[in-house]
Structure 1
Amino acid sequence: MDWVQIISALALVMFIVVLFPATRHMMKNSPKGTSSDWISFVIPLVVIVLFILLLVKLV
């Protein structure tokens, strides 16, 4: 391993150590989604998937 890979590995470990507690806190204290929130998320997702399938069929 050269020094760039070692520094990259150390940076990755540092990011995990710093961000994991904050992420756990955010997940624990975040508001829960209602069914209307999930529907408003799923509908655009389905539209995008159908559009991509249409583009694939046209090629």
Structure 2
Amino acid sequence: MTDKLIRRGVHTSVKAFEDGITAWVNTWNENQRPFTWTKTADEILNALADYLAKVTPPANNN
């Protein structure tokens, strides 16, 4: 949904954006398929921890 609707979509209003999301969900629900994870939970959590370590400013110990 992110690539197809949010990043590439053109929305003229919040209502148009909401309607687009609702339409996407309705279409998805008509032809459901399971999401297949490509990484384990540990791999995802480790990647998140690495990212947070990079973007978190150091603590100010004044």
Decide which structure has greater helix share. Answer: 1
Larger Rg: 1
| TM-score under structure 1 length normalisation | 0.48
| TM-score under structure 2 length normalisation | 0.46
